[in-house]
Amino acid sequence: MELAPHDPGSKLLRPDEPELDLYTIPSHSSWFSWDEIHETERIALKEYFDGSSISRTPKTYKEYRDFIVSKYREDPSRKLTFTEVRKSLVGDVSLLHKVFNFLEKWGLINFSANLGVNGGFGIEGEERSKVKVEDGVPNGIRVAAMPNSIKPILPISAPPKAGDAGGGVVNRITLAPLASYSDVFGGLKKEEGLVCGNCGGHCETGHYKYSKGDFLICIKCFENGNYGENKLRDDFKLNEAIEKSGTNGVEWTESETLLLLESVLKHGDDWEFVAQNVQTKTKFDCIAKLIDLPFGELVLGSAYRKGNPSSFSGNLISSERIQLSSSECQDTVETNGQLHEQTDDCKQNGDILDQDPPLKRQRIASLSDASSSLIKQVAAITTMVGPHITSAAAEAAVNALCEETSCSREIFNADDDSIPNGLWSPAKNCETERVHGEDSEMKERPTQSESRHAIFKKDDIPPTLQIRAAIGTALGAAAAHAKLLADQEDRQIEHLMATIIGTQMKKLHSKLKHFEDLELIRKKECAQIEEVEDILVEERMNILQRTFDSGVPRWRDHPSLKS
């Protein structure tokens, strides 16, 4: 946007102020000048400049243009219409319309009005940008519902929010309730939230989904028996708003979380009881929160252990390792009991699991799965690198945390004091475990649990710190692993480069050889040609010799050639 260069009397005013001697035109129309006709105009409106008609001359065009532009500038905030202009101009309306559209397209007229920069005449501009909503389909047209658009149009035409009535300046675009609306905007609408097809209310807690089409009703309607037309109760499936409350960000206080964990331990997956215990939260919130918690699946895993023990304990072992190597225990006091159970479980499964290579792969594969819990990821990452690296990463992470706040330093230092080698011994343990390998697995277990017990006794490191330390460790380990990978990649690249260069050399060599062969062939052919030449010369000599010998006089040859 720039100021028109042809306004000599313009003062420096804000461009949106409806001042008569200053106008705003788009910068791409800066070619415009009152005094001449620009090339753009000549190209766009050829008929005025080819001299084909008396009614279409550059002069007429300029008059049209100047009139329309100055007419618009009488009041730039208002949208100038073609119908308004044409009554004042003599000439073919079609051509006038073309000129008008040209000027409008380039923003020479109706520019400020289009932008909605309204002075005192805002209402008119608003009216123009508003889409007309028809009351219904025109007479004689019946809109038949398409089978896949059973979703009612009711929510679309739902009354606008109360705020709109007051702020009339807002350019609200309402869409006409056409039958195809749900087809077109169905996907968009879903994002706004689930809306009950019967009562139009939002399905906050959950909804019943109609299995034979895109239709849902809220729980209230379902219980009241309002299923909508031609729909049976059996076709509805309950969809609880689990994912919703998760994203909704229900606020959980520390005490509530603790309460939740306690009750989960007590009641297992009997969520009704859990919710009763927590009191302040609903069943779905509890489930969502537990899933959101970093060790949520761990707890769940113990709950479901009977169902599929091997896969869950696989995760348990890995998470256990990280706990050991980083000298931290992820679980708060409440989950201790749970953990002991797990340890037992691991002892049972330990041998089988560690001898089972596919499981390890499974752990690594879980990395790519973003939904798996944090600790699982940490565990998976740390298993990828050696124990040395893990311990170093843990050390670095704890150090960094210590530097961050003095309170954490105190906590960690307290650990140091109370447990000899508090921070390092588990790492070493882990290391030795790695060194000894599978054979010593059984022997190692007691040491681990011992150290764990030691930690647990003194355990008052807040869970947030633990988690942060774990994250730090994981990041460190991941970085180390990445470094290793990068190094390996480098080596591979070098190797490949060497191979490529070797191949190229081979290629060059073979080419050279080929050229040499060609050279040889050429030389041979040269020699042959020379030989042939010699022979030819000889033959010629022979022939000449013979003619001289036969003694035919030369002069008789010439006339015979001529005739």
Residues of this chain that interact with other proteins (CB under 8 A) are 47, 53-55, 57, 59-60, 63-64, 67, 81-84, 86-95, 97-98, 132, 138
Reported as type and span, the H/E element at residue 218 is: strand 216-218
Q: Which residues of 66-82 are buried (b: 16+ CB within 10 A; e: fewer)?
A: eebbeebbeebbbbbee
Closest contact distance (angstroms) between CB of 129 and other proteins is 13
For other proteins, give the closer residue by CB, 42 or 97.
97
Residues listed for the chain: 563
CB-wise, 94 or 371, nearer to other proteins?
A: 94
Least gap, CB of 38 to other proteins (angstroms): 20
> At its nearest, how many Å lie between other proteins and the CB of residue 57?
7
**Minimum CB distance to other proteins, residue 111 (Å):** 18
Residue 175 or 485: the one with the smaller Cβ distance to other proteins is 175
Q: How far is the CB of 59 from other proteins (least distance, A)?
A: 7
Q: How far apart are CA 557 and CA 252, in angstroms?
A: 126
Cβ–Cβ < 8 Å for 286, 269: no
Q: Which residues of 280-302 are buried (b: 16+ CB within 10 A; e: fewer)?
A: ebbbbbbbbbbeebbbbbbbbbb
Question: Are 125 and 77 within 8 A, CB to CB?
Answer: yes
Q: How many other C-beta atoms are found inside a 10 Å radius of the C-beta of residue 490?
A: 10
121 CB-near residues (< 8 Å, 6+ apart): 75, 77, 78
| Minimum CB–partner distance for residue 120 and other proteins (Å) | 20
Nearest residue (CB) to other proteins, 49 versus 273: 49
Q: Which is nearer to other proteins, 99 or 259 (CB)?
A: 99
Residue located via tokens 């797990």: 342
User: Which of 441, 444, 402 lies closest to 423, judged by CA?
Assistant: 402
CB 318 within 8 A of CB 326: no
From CA 509, how far away is CA 515, in angstroms rounded? 10
Q: Which is nearer to other proteins, 134 or 269 (CB)?
A: 134
Nearest approach, Cβ of 86 to other proteins (angstroms)? 6
In the 8-state DSSP scheme, what is residue 207?
E
Measured from the CB atom, is 89 or 374 closer to other proteins? 89
